[in-house]
Amino acid sequence: MRGRLFALAGRLSRAFLPVLAILFAVPMALADGTSPPHGIAPLPNDEPVPHRWLPPGADNPDTGPSDVIFPTQQIPLRFNHAKHLGKDVGAACKTCHPKAYSSERPSDSLVPSGVVCDACHNSDHDDLSHVKPGDDASGQCAFCHLGYKPADGNAVAQLALPRANMVFDHKVHADRNIGCPQCHGAVDKLELATRDQLPRMAGCFSCHEAPDAASRGSAKSACDTCHIRGADGTGIKTLFASGSLSPPRWLHDAEHTPDFIERHKAIAGDNSQFCANCHKEDFCTDCHDGRVRPRSIHPSDYLNMHPVEARMEPQKCQSCHRDQSFCLDCHLRVGVSESSPADARESGRFHPPKAIWSDSPMRPGHHGFEAERNLNACVSCHIERDCVACHGALGVGGGFDPHQNGFVAGCRTQFRRNPRPCFVCHEPTDANVNQCK
């Protein structure tokens, strides 16, 4: 009885196996023919990678890592990380990238050679001029090398993986048990790994927040911890064939926007060392102690229009010019200053007519009001004698009092620390000075 049952099963199986094969194989073949090949993009159909799988620090939406730090790559390969790191293959990162645990420089090649693939794909990459394909489809050259044609022999498209323009020591990070996903994201969920799986600067700062003097091994935040030092004395090198570096918006709000020149004072005033990472003093002093009019600040024909702006925004002038030297020197030479030498060329009266400018009663345009608003403008042309002549206690004006409101309250301290300006206008025996002694 048992023998007949086995015989029946054998006949049925022989009869139905081809049918079963057809039932499964045809749809699979059809499916293979219509679905895109896997492993040529991070996700099938070039779907965007979910933000949670991207390297830490990636923007949302993400625009990839810096083009300057990580120049454009060409990866003419088909590879499925998810499959290799999954249960089917069971590989780990280290299986194919063992050098990532010992590499100390970004110039090290961490991409596995074909020999690593040979173990499973039955190919032979020992001699790259005579690579032998494996027996099955997964061992054929075209299985991994995109665009491969048998007629090309052993010629395959080359990978172009320019070195990263940075300083990086994989070993230091691996030794501290920093896992690959901590910098590269969830590569185990992806097929092909591209530039998008390279680290983002913002992600580095999740650890690199320690000062220089922190214990050795701590993640320091100094720029040259990760950026290449400038050989020309700058803190870091900023100019590369792939472009030039400039700070991101989220770093001290120092994005070099078109109006950065107007707002950089707050950043440089707080942390000039931050600027000095990329700029030498020369860059700054070209404007702040410059001798050539910077076009980015002063437009052409500025000589003729500068009086209006100098009166309106003296605080801006002060950031680069000293009134009693830079401005006064020139104003004395051209004859616009009251103290100009006799033969200095006359430029015509600068101020409004005397009846408005200095006569009583005070009215709009009177120099008293203008001086209150634009004292720097006065100082750019006048020496103190010009003011003391009238405002001095014994001046011809009989001492029109120029002091600000509440002056006496603080004048004792000022007199004690430097009485010189008091004596310019007041005699030492002046009763008014006695109030400040």
Partner 1 sequence: MRPFLVAGCVAAFAALGAPDARALDAEVTSDTDAQFYDVRSPTGLTVLQRDRLTTTLGVGAYHLLDAPMGDLSAPDLSFRARVRYDADYGAQPGTSDPTNRSLFVPGFQPGVVDLMYAYLEGRRFLKGALGFKLGRQYVTDVLGWWAFDGGEVSVTTPYYFKVEAYGGLEERGGLPLSTPRFESDGVWRGDRGNFDSQLYPSFQPAAIAPAYGVALESAGVTWLHGRLTYRRVYDTGDTGVTEFASGLYGPSVYSGARISSERVGYAVDANLRSLGGVKAGLVYDVYRAQVTSIYGSLDAYLGKKVTVSADYDYYVPSFDADSIWNFFAGEPMNDVGLRANVDFDRHLSIAGSAQLRVFEVQTALFDPFSGAPAAGAYSPYPTGAGGEVFPTNGHPFDEIGNFSARWRDGLTTMLLRGTGSWGDEGDRVGADASLDHVFETRYIANVRTGVWQWQDKLQPDRDATSFDYVLGMGYRFALRSQAMVEWEHDINRLVGQRFRLLAKLAIAVGP
Site residues (CB under 8 A) for partner 1, limited to 198-237 = 202, 205, 208-216, 220-222, 224-225, 229, 231-233
Closer of 118 and 386 to partner 1 (Cβ): 386
3-class DSSP assignment, residue 124? strand
Q: Tell which residue, 260, 266, 233, 232, has the closest CA to residue 246.
A: 260
Q: Which of residues 82-141 bind partner 1 (CB under 8 A)?
A: 104-105
Site for partner 1 contains 251 (CB under 8 A): yes
From candidates 80, 95, 274, 338, binder to partner 1 by CB under 8 A: 274
In angstroms, give the least distance from the CB of 338 to partner 1.
Answer: 11
Q: Does position 51 bind partner 1 by CB under 8 A? A: no
Using the rule CB under 8 A, which residue among 130, 149, 176, 385 binds partner 1?
A: 385
Contact residue for partner 1 among 26, 155, 355, 375 (CB under 8 A): 375
Residue 160 DSSP label: B
Residues 412, 436: contact at Cβ < 8 Å? yes
Q: Which of residues 281-300 bind partner 1 (CB under 8 A)?
A: 281-282, 284-285, 288-289, 291-292, 295, 299-300
Subset of 302-321 contacting partner 1 (CB under 8 A): 303-305, 307-309, 311-315, 318-319
Residues 6+ apart with CB under 8 A from 71: 162, 165, 240, 241, 242
* Helix, strand or coil, per DSSP, at residue 228: coil
State yes or no: residue 22 binds partner 1 (CB under 8 A).
no
3-class secondary structure, 419: coil
Residue from 35, 421, 434, 437 touching partner 1 (CB under 8 A): that is 421
Compare residues 177 and 405 and give the one whose CB is closer to partner 1.
Answer: 405
The answer to whether 55 and 183 have CB atoms below 8 angstroms apart is yes
Q: State both tokens at 86.
A: 């999954």
Closer residue to partner 1 in complex, CB, 102/319 = 319
Choice from 9, 120, 334, 355 touching partner 1 (CB under 8 A): 334
Asked if 236 and 227 count as a contact pair (C-beta separation under 8 A), the reply is yes
Q: How far is the CB of 71 from partner 1 (least distance, A)?
A: 14
Listed in sequence order, the residues at least 6 apart from 430 whose beta carbon sits closer than 8 Å to its beta carbon are: 393
* CB 353, CB 367: distance < 8 Å: no
CA dihedral 211, 214, 217, 220 (to 10 degrees): 0
Per CB under 8 A, 262 contacts partner 1: yes
Span between the terminal Cα atoms of the chain, in Å:
131
Separation of alpha carbons 321 and 293, rounded Å: 12
Contact 147, 37 (CB under 8 A): no
- Round the CA-based radius of gyration of the chain to a whole number and report it: 39
Work out whether 396 is an interface residue with partner 1 (CB under 8 A): yes
Q: Are 110 and 187 in contact (CB under 8 A)?
A: no
- Using CB under 8 A as the binding rule, the residues of this chain from 398 to 417 that contact partner 1 are 401-411, 413-414, 417
Pairing between strand 243-244 and 239-240? Answer: antiparallel
Between 149 and 412, CB nearer to partner 1: 412
Contact track, partner 1, 160-189, x by CB under 8 A: -------x-x--------------------
Nearer to partner 1, 123 or 380 (CB): 380
Q: What are phi and psi of 74, to 5 degrees?
A: -130, 120
Of these, 6, 24, 283, 423, which contacts partner 1 (CB under 8 A)? 423
Specify the residue, 6 or 369, whose C-beta has the smaller distance to partner 1: 369
**Nearest Cα residue to 197 out of 54, 16, 21:** 54
What is the phi/psi pair of residue 77, to 5°?
-130, 155
Torsions phi, psi for 410 (to 5 deg): -110, 5
For residue 61, state whether it binds partner 1 (rule: CB under 8 A).
Answer: yes
Q: Considering beta carbons, is residue 183 or 328 the nearer one to partner 1? A: 328
Q: How far is the CB of 313 from partner 1 (least distance, A)?
A: 8
* Interatomic CA distance for residues 388 and 234, integer angstroms: 49
Question: Which one, 44 or 395, has the nearer CB to partner 1?
Answer: 395
By CB under 8 A, the residues from 141 to 160 that bind partner 1 are none
- Cβ-based nearer residue to partner 1, 182 or 432: 432
Total of chain residues touching partner 1, rule CB under 8 A: 154
The reply on whether position 437 binds partner 1 by CB under 8 A is no
Q: How far is the CB of 32 from partner 1 (least distance, A)?
A: 39
**Which residue, 142 or 268, has its beta carbon nearer to partner 1?**
268
